[in-house]
Amino acid sequence: MSERQLREAICQLAKSLYDRGLTHGSTGNISSRTEDGGLLVSPTGTSFGRLDPARLSRFDAKGRLIDGDPPTKEMPLHTAFYDTRSTAGAVVHLHSCHSVALSLLPDSDVDSFLPPLTPYAIMQLGRVKLLPFFVPGDPAMGEAVRGLAGKRAAVMLANHGPVVAGKTVEAACNAIEELEATARLALMMRGLPARVLSAEQVSQVITKFDVEWDK
């Protein structure tokens, strides 16, 4: 994919997320690796519904801003995934309503934030780590991701929103949508006798689809 095509894809995917209410206002940020090892990043204070391909923040392979508007204040979060996960080709962060709501509940599982309701979240996300609350823009968020040593493709920032790394920008967007959909299901089934996947069924999914599953 050429850089021009990648710029267009980032903006189109971001607008799709925005149009369907998966993030709002000027919340959320998105980035993707370029062929030369640099990054394209959504600028600070911009809306996913109105990103301009020509104004995306452009970094070179050494991490220097070389073109476009100033980047999102969550750059430490993005670079932490790229630096610790060799397979990371894109990172998406949203302020999606249902996943944030699930993170507010006191009994949320820190090591496996999403309950095993369907195979698809397991296949696309692996185990999702729930991280504590950080003030937006705090570099400590990036340090918390680095502390996972590349073992998680997705984290949930408590009271804030999910962050997902994928091989491509489309894969990262698909995965974060699955995270939000699973969180919505979890809230819908809360208090009901839901039949979650058994440990054996989860193991079957992990084995069949070669899922990265940190213990």
DSSP-derived 3-state class of residue 190: coil
67/53 Cα distance (integer angstroms): 12
Q: Provide the phi-psi class of 186: left if phi over 0, else alpha when psi is between -120 and 50, else beta.
A: alpha
Quote the tokens at residue 145: 């991701």
Quote the tokens at residue 136: 């937006």
Among this protein's residues, is 143 annotated catalytic?
no
The catalytic position among 3, 18, 82, 120 is 120
Give the distance from CA 152 to its chain's centroid. 11
Quote the tokens at residue 184: 């919505």
The catalytic position among 8, 35, 74, 170 is 74
Q: What is the largest CA-CA distance in the chain?
A: 54
Q: Are 59 and 67 in contact (CB under 8 A)?
A: no
- Cβ-in-10-Å burial (0-12, 13-18, 19+) of 191 comes to exposed
Among this protein's residues, is 74 annotated catalytic?
yes
The catalytic residues are: 74, 120
